[in-house]
């Protein structure tokens, strides 16, 4: 994301947040437990919605302008840790996280399959992936528009892709879907509106993992 896009990101998103995203974030993040890793935390739109019961929330954001805004939204004395680490160089230990959060991130990572594979590994068996992503439209006409617009949009919006098939990539990474909902993001630009949100799980359980380690 270029400097200008990062500066105007919050005003650009405000109508969309009011229309639906804040409600969706609240519903999804109420399910976060234990040690949490949020990848691509941006300017901190998710921060107010984390339950008080979480143990730690590691917020990664490699973009300097976005990260400074994120730091301004993190309350002192809370469970939040801000990191500049990129998903490509994620150094967390395998099986060290209870919950991973992705909101509007898979559209812009260079290698979605590789990113999801890393997140699968850092989750404990039985750990959950909470996701909210805009995706390729199922409507042929709108999908064609997305393909036409995508080359220019990627340049303007920090490598944001409009035709990603994120549900398929999540499954291919080994996650089991608990639930998923496809819905139009109200107030978004038409070619961004198709979205998915839900929760997927790394198969297994913590007890099974402990048995394997012993």
Q: What is the pLDDT of residues 74-128, one digit of tens each?
A: 998 889 999 999 888 888 999 999 999 999 999 999 999 999 999 999 999 999 9
How far apart are the C-alpha atoms of 159 and 143, rounded to whole Å? 18
Tell me the pLDDT tens digit for each residue of 122-175: 999 999 999 999 999 999 999 999 999 999 999 988 899 999 999 999 999 999
Residue linked to tokens 């949100």:
197
Categorize the per-residue pLDDT at 5 as very low, low, confident or very high, splitting at 50, 70 and 90. Answer: low
Q: Which residue has the higher pLDDT, 7 or 136?
A: 136
Report all structural domains of the chain as residue ranges with CATH numbers, in order of start. 3-213 (3.40.50.150)
Quick check: 208 and 149 in contact, CB under 8 A?
no
Quick check: 93 and 72 in contact, CB under 8 A?
no
Closest CA to 2 of 64, 84, 88, 45: 64
- Structure token digits, residue 196: 């998915």
The rounded Cα 72 to chain-centroid distance in angstroms is: 20
């Amino acid at each position: 994301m270029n400097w200008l896009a990062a500066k105007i990101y919050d005003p650009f998103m405000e109508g969309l947040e009011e229309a639906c995203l804040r409600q969706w974030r609240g519903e999804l993040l109420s399910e976060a437990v234990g040690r949490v890793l949020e990848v691509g935390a941006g300017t901190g739109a998710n921060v107010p919605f984390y339950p008080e019961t979480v143990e730690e929330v590691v917020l990664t954001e490699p973009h300097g302008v976005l990260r400074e805004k994120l730091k301004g939204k993190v309350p002192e004395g809370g469970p939040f840790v801000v990191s500049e680490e990129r998903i490509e160089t994620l150094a967390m230990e395998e099986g060290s996280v209870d919950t991973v959060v992705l909101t509007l991130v898979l559209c812009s990572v260079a290698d979605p399959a590789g990113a999801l594979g890393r997140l699968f590994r850092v989750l404990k068996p039985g750990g959950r992936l909470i996701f909210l992503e805009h995706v390729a439209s199922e409507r042929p006409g709108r999908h064609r528009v997305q393909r036409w617009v995508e080359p220019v949009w990627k340049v303007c919006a920090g490598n944001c892709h409009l035709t990603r098939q994120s549900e398929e990539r999540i499954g291919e990474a080994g996650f089991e879907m608990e639930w998923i909902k496809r819905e139009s993001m109200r107030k978004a630009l038409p070619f961004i509106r198709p979205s998915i949100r839900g929760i997927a799980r790394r198969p297994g359980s913590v007890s099974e993992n402990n048995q394997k380690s012993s």
